[in-house]
Amino acid sequence: MASLEQTRQLVTEIPGPKSLELDKRRTSAVSAGVGVTLPVYVARAGGGIVEDVDGNRLIDLGSGIAVTTIGNSAPRVVDAVREQVAEFTHTCFMVTPYQSYVAVAEELNRITPGSGEKRSVLFNSGAEAVENSVKIARSYTRKTAVAAFDHAYHGRTNMAMALTAKSMPYKSGFGPFAPEIYRAPMSYPYRDGLLDKDLATDGELAAARAISVLDKQIGAANLAAVIIEPIQGEGGFIVPAEGFLPALVDWCRKNNVVFIADEVQSGFARTGAMFACEHEGIEPDLICTAKGIAGGLPLSAVTGRAEIMDAPHVSGLGGTFGGNPVACAAALASIATIENDGLIERAQQIERLITDVLLRMQAGDDRIGDVRGRGAMIAVELVKSGTSEPDAELTNKLATAAGAAGVIVLTCGMYGNIVRLLPPLTISDELLTEGLEVLRLLLADL
């Protein structure tokens, strides 16, 4: 296949005629329940570019929601997948196992935070990993309650929906939800700071507020697990105040509560560390991973302390496709790519490049309430001029205009007022700078 030129190029309106034709077929064939951000139908993708069926080349600042962190069709992944698919495609690990599943578990045990003995189990999606982490925690502690946080997103299956905070579009009309799920206040420095400056900077204070809810409204004696994204994804790339996560971990350890880090979005070099927990020096009991794990193939995992992971009875965990051999081959190639190509350092460079541009934009535009995030996971919180009131309308207009100009960006946040940037780590500085410049000009025009 000819290499994909790394330049933005628009040869038709966005979406172009072929995309529009395909989109007509979509509406009569695909459930209306599946939303589409930008109905541009993809022909090829790689580096920092997505090329559509009309020949338009768009700058990718979304990575398919933080999945293609090592780039689309990354060479090692392509080779590994080709080789594996020609050997065998499936046997079911629970029936006749294979080496690559074991190797992925070994790699996850090696690269996740925590030095003690660990075990892993593989699934297909982030939500499935989350559901199983709760099963494992309940099995280990013999307790039932689970606490999640404000602004949390953990997926779309029944328990994951219950753990997720936002009603529309994730939960509305889909209940009843799994019982014994409770919600604690998150540390959200930007919005906390509007009410109380100390709460914004003192993570231990923010943790004390959350721990009071865990203690008084649920009770440690009933609480099996606390699940948290160390940097919240769909909630708006909220980085908790320093000290918040360590204080929660401490409380969990003292109270026999399993601390689960959901690193589905923040994992695998995305934040400038292999896992976001490393920025706070915490060691979760269990860690859920997916998205960036396998270069775009569907795979997820729960990894954690051996005594917790080994608590469920034999055959209590599993699934037909979990740890599919093709996805496992891709995961091994992805981890090798991150480590051999210096992608953690690349995420740190991207952080500097993006935040430098965004902070300069913020200095001249009071609609940019906050710039935050780590690595190649950076967000801008947009507010109504001169206030801290969320501006979802401006956010949607900006994302739509960016798409039309050939730059793919995603929005998120409880109030829908956050533009999030998740470029693949293979994007060039030139493309990234160009994408940011497009956003700057569009925002100035709106």
Ligand X SMILES: Cc1ncc(COP(=O)(O)O)c(C=O)c1O
Among residues 229, 280, 285, 351, the one that binds ligand X under rule CB under 6 A: 229
Among residues 234, 280, 370, 391, the one that binds ligand X under rule CB under 6 A: 234
> Of 125 and 271, which CB lies nearer to ligand X in the complex structure?
125
Among residues 112, 265, 271, 334, the one that binds ligand X under rule CB under 6 A: 265
Among residues 205, 264, 308, 399, the one that binds ligand X under rule CB under 6 A: 264
- Asked if residue 76 binds ligand X (CB under 6 A), the reply is no
- Asked if residue 127 binds ligand X (CB under 6 A), the reply is yes
377 closest CA partner among 241, 255, 230: 230
Residue type at 193 in one-letter notation: G
Q: How far apart are CA 311 and CA 138, in angstroms?
A: 9
Among the candidate windows 39-47, 68-76, 85-93, 119-127, which touches ligand X by CB under 6 A? 119-127
Among residues 15, 64, 233, 240, the one that binds ligand X under rule CB under 6 A: 233
> Of 130 and 205, which CB lies nearer to ligand X in the complex structure?
130
Q: How far apart are CA 140 and CA 169, in angstroms?
A: 33
- Pair 286, 261: CB distance under 8 Å: yes
Query: Per DSSP, what are the bridge partners of residue 120?
Result: 303
Total chain residues near ligand X (CB under 6 A): 15
- Asked if residue 131 binds ligand X (CB under 6 A), the reply is no
Retrieve residue 281's tokens: 């020096």
Alpha carbon 323 to chain centroid distance?
20
Q: How far apart are CA 14 and CA 11, in angstroms?
A: 9
User: CA Rg, the chain, in Å?
Assistant: 21
> Of 149 and 153, which CB lies nearer to ligand X in the complex structure?
153
Q: How far apart are CA 430 and CA 436, in angstroms?
A: 10
Query: Per DSSP, what are the bridge partners of residue 411?
Result: 419
85 closest CA partner among 339, 297, 300, 338: 297
Residue nearest ligand X (C-beta atom)? 126
> Of 56 and 271, which CB lies nearer to ligand X in the complex structure?
271
- Quickly count: other Cβ atoms within 10 Å of residue 102's Cβ: 14
Biggest CA–CA distance in the chain, Å, is 62
| Least Å from the CB of residue 405 to ligand X | 25
Site for ligand X in 266-295 (CB under 6 A): 290
Query: Per DSSP, what are the bridge partners of residue 383?
Result: 390
Altogether, the residues listed in the chain come to a count of 446
Site for ligand X in 141-180 (CB under 6 A): 153-155
- Asked if residue 262 binds ligand X (CB under 6 A), the reply is yes
> Of 233 and 390, which CB lies nearer to ligand X in the complex structure?
233
- Asked if residue 125 binds ligand X (CB under 6 A), the reply is yes
| Least Å from the CB of residue 229 to ligand X | 5
> Of 228 and 394, which CB lies nearer to ligand X in the complex structure?
228
Among residues 48, 113, 126, 189, the one that binds ligand X under rule CB under 6 A: 126
How buried is residue 314: exposed, middle or buried, by Cβ count under 10 Å (0-12/13-18/19+)? exposed
> Of 178 and 353, which CB lies nearer to ligand X in the complex structure?
178
Q: Which residues bind ligand X (CB under 6 A)?
A: 65, 125-127, 130, 153-155, 229, 233-234, 262, 264-265, 290
